[in-house]
């Protein structure tokens, strides 16, 4: 999936130039987010500059990939000094994050939903979960995890009134499509889906799937393979 981005760069005189609209792959956006987190965690003890190969090692990619990804931010380093850490971080943040507040809505405030609210609380000043929705009357019309909770029946009006553009789905899989349809009808244009089911949405809606069960299955599978390769797997499990 591709994101349409209007890129900006700074020329040698420091003047900002707007580049033509271009397509940025979603993997590039994901890696930029990773680089930003790495730069944020480096701290002052790491010095003022970092080379592409050092950033690549921390990100688990190649130095060439780092340099290609960073081109879209409009900031380039130098062969002698590499990238100025704070300046590079600001360029990535300016590229990824909105200058004004962007609002999200969460559907489902069970265990997963509450964990999501706790995780995102105060994490990004310009991205805020402004509303949550539930079908359980014991949960809505309350403040849960610092976020007002509404009936799912009010979702469209609340989303439009608050100008919400991002949706998070943390409901059972059989309810996910209904929620996605409500979100799209209300004007949401990006969805983070924790429900273990594909969503039918218009092609212009970006959907990111987070399947924890699949991730655990993969980790467990490769852990077994590694164990077997060491010759330590119990005999009954080593049979084909």
Q: Number of helices (H) and strands (E), helices first, in the chain?
A: 8, 11
61 within domain boundaries: yes
The number of distinct structural domains making up the chain is: 2
Q: What is the pLDDT of residues 117-131, one digit of tens each?
A: 999 887 777 889 999
Q: Is residue 205 part of a domain?
A: yes
Cα–Cα distance for residue pair 130/29, rounded to 1 Å: 24
Instruction: Out of 2-16, 50-64, 96-110, pick the least confident.
Output: 2-16
- Give the global pTM: 0.74
Q: Is residue 35 part of a domain?
A: yes
Tokens of 84: 């100025």
pLDDT at 91 over 60: yes
Tens of pLDDT, residue by residue over 56-88, are: 999 999 999 999 999 999 888 888 889 999 999
185 lies in a domain? yes
Residue 214 falls inside a structural domain: no
Q: Provide the domain limits for residue 45.
A: 2-96
Burial of 174 by CB count in 10 Å (0-12 exposed, 13-18 middle, 19+ buried)? exposed
Do 109 and 35 lie in a common domain?
no
Q: How far is CA 43 from CA 58, 115, 161, in A?
A: 14, 27, 40
Same domain, yes or no: 74 and 109: no
* pLDDT digits 0-9 by tens, 127-171: 899 999 999 999 999 999 999 999 999 999 999 999 999 999 999
CATH of the domain at 50: 1.10.10.10
What is the predicted pLDDT for the residue at 77? Answer: 86
Position 19 scores a pLDDT of: 38
């Amino acid at each position: 999936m591709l994101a349409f981005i209007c890129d900006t760069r700074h020329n040698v005189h420091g003047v900002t130039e707007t580049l033509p609209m271009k397509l940025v792959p979603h993997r590039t956006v994901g890696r930029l987010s990773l680089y930003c987190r790495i730069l944020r965690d480096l701290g002052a003890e790491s010095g003022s500059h970092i080379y592409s190969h050092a950033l690549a090692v921390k990100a688990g990619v190649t130095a060439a990939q780092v340099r290609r990804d960073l081109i879209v931010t409009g900031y380039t380093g130098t062969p002698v000094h590499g990238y100025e850490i704070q300046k590079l971080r600001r360029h990535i943040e300016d590229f990824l994050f909105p200058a004004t507040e962007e609002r999200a809505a969460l559907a489902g405030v069970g265990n997963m939903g509450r964990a999501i609210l706790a995780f995102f609380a105060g994490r990004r000043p310009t991205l805020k979960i402004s509303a949550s929705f539930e079908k359980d009357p014991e949960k809505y019309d309350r403040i849960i995890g610092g976020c007002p909770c509404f009936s799912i029946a009010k979702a469209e009006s609340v989303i439009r009134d608050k100008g919400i553009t991002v949706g998070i789905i943390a409901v059972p899989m059989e309810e996910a499509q209904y929620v996605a349809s409500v979100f799209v009808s209300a004007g949401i244009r990006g969805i983070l889906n924790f429900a273990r089911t594909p969503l039918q949405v218009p092609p212009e809606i970006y959907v990111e799937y987070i399947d924890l069960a699949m991730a655990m299955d993969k980790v467990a599978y490769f852990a077994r393979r590694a164990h077997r390769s060491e010759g330590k797997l119990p005999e009954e499990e080593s049979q084909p």
